Structure 1
């Protein structure tokens, strides 16, 4: 008889178990197999911020994963959801998502859906929002630096937390602290107040710039320029919901063209928008 905590799929039983750091080599193998650029180190970051389940057969072969990230007491992100092509049409994805959603404690939920998983999340009650455009490539050109932008300093931390809370409508302390620890940053300071920030850290094939939080597209572009300059001739990635304007124009002119998309989807209460603290780029798709 199949264990009630497992499921019989394709003539063999798959059992979910909590992800541990020891699973990272197999998780990395799984993500490479579906074309993700995550390094083993990127999986380690995800495990520092969230928890999840690992789907394996009786002899430990990896077939799927799903994670949830407790951003705050009222919001969780879902991500790192992978099922092998062999199981995608056999209900494994929905089964894993139901397992993960049951662990989130009634929080509002958000995720960034690939095209392959979009219909599954609709069936689970998620509402589609804006498209996220994955801009990436080798930085080929960099404009001159903006005079209002300076390098981030350690004493900017509290102001960056306050601005990020306004932009994301919740205080995601643990995630932002980790990103600050791993990143080089730029800020815009006006009248002694931080009105925008951008972080850049190692990720995937090179580096990723995000989050970027600013009041205007021009400010977002100005915050991005130092990171483009620091990585000229190297691979850079920026995930944004912007489709036009000076920020997107800068990315395209610098060699970072849109290569792929996901769709932001939510389940729960509508969240307020602060027009003076806008998210121009995500940290990573799994965290937002």
Structure 2
């Protein structure tokens, strides 16, 4: 695979994303209006792998990351090209580097509108729309349906208790990612009938906090698992990414979280989304890159 590419008057070289100063990555995402903080980039580099496109004096013109879950699946994210190179083939070249590193893995990503045609051309198939809800959480949340079960906090040393549930909902074991997320998250579980039937996490990200992942078997459970965190964020900025359109989405809107953006879930290889009726599902994403 070509490890360098010439774009107009300068040449870019592929370099491991962990080898560059994180402030350069922060500047790259800020330049395209993405909310990632330095801490967010540091976490993502711990969680995944990737490359950056740099010129001869070390300036970063693009990035692309992938997050392996086992040996046969990965999510792709943080595919960013600087405004100067967005129409010159830099994004396609970055994706080619990612494909080489991922090998034969099945892949999934969440595409912005700007990148959608590129991913179609690279063999990705549309599966669903992700709605990004965000805003300042009000002092009081809307009324909730009756709680079926018991909500309680989960400590990080017991994170393995939600692995099987998450694997059923997500479709692939992502225990390593859950453990990393848990390091800086508040975790809530819903217990019913002697077992855990849902969970949610809340952590700092971007402009405030992100509530996700949220895994539940129905909208009512998901609403309670989101509300337990939103209640603690009154007056603060919060974000929830979801593919839902029903009661759970209505609850977010009634909580004064408005849709600020949509992205498109796409897959290459086997289909990514595997939702089944009355079984655990992902109501809230861990993040666009992590899915």
Extract unaligned runs of 5+ from structure 2.
Answer: none
Assess if the C-alpha contact under 8 Å between 1:13 and 1:57 holds in 2: yes
TM-score by length of 1: 0.94
Q: Secondary structure at the match of 2:102?
A: coil
Q: Residue 157 of structure 1: which of 156, 159, 162 is its match?
A: 159
Q: Secondary structure at the match of 2:83?
A: coil
Quote the Cα distance in structure 1 between the aligned partners of 2:290 and 2:179: 13
Q: Secondary structure at the match of 2:183?
A: helix
Shift of 1:149: 4.1
- Residue correspondence of structure 1 range 53-202 to structure 2 within 5 A: 53-140=51-138, 141-143=140-142, 147=147, 148-154=149-155, 156-202=158-204
Please say which of residues 140-149 and 35-44 is displaced more in the overlay: 140-149
Deviations 1:221-267 (A, max 9, x none): 0111111110011000000001222x111111111111101000000
Q: Secondary structure at the match of 1:223?
A: helix
Change (3 A) 1:135 1:21: farther
Match of 1:240 in 2: 242
Deviations 1:142-166 (A, max 9, x none): 1467643422223753331110010
Change (3 A) 1:149 1:134: farther
Change (3 A) 1:126 1:132: same
TM-score by length of 2: 0.93
Quote the Cα distance in structure 2 between the aligned partners of 1:37 and 1:233: 19
Q: Residue 285 of structure 1: which of 267, 280, 288 is its match?
A: 288
Quote the Cα distance in structure 2 between the aligned partners of 1:31 and 1:149: 40
Quote the Cα distance in structure 2 between the aligned partners of 1:133 and 1:239: 6
Quote the Cα distance in structure 2 between the aligned partners of 1:248 and 1:273: 17
Quote the Cα distance in structure 1 between the aligned partners of 2:90 and 2:220: 44
Quote the Cα distance in structure 2 between the aligned partners of 1:22 and 1:89: 24
Extract unaligned runs of 5+ from structure 1.
Answer: none
Deviations 1:13-34 (A, max 9, x none): 1111111264210000000010
Q: CA RMSD of the aligned region, Å?
A: 1.5
Q: Is the aligned partner of 1:204 residue 2:221?
A: no
- Residue correspondence of structure 1 range 257-268 to structure 2 within 5 A: 257-268=258-269
- Runs of 4+ in structure 1 displaced over 2 angstroms? 143-149, 151-159, 270-275
Deviations 1:37-73 (A, max 9, x none): 0001101111111111111111111110001111221
Aligned length: 284
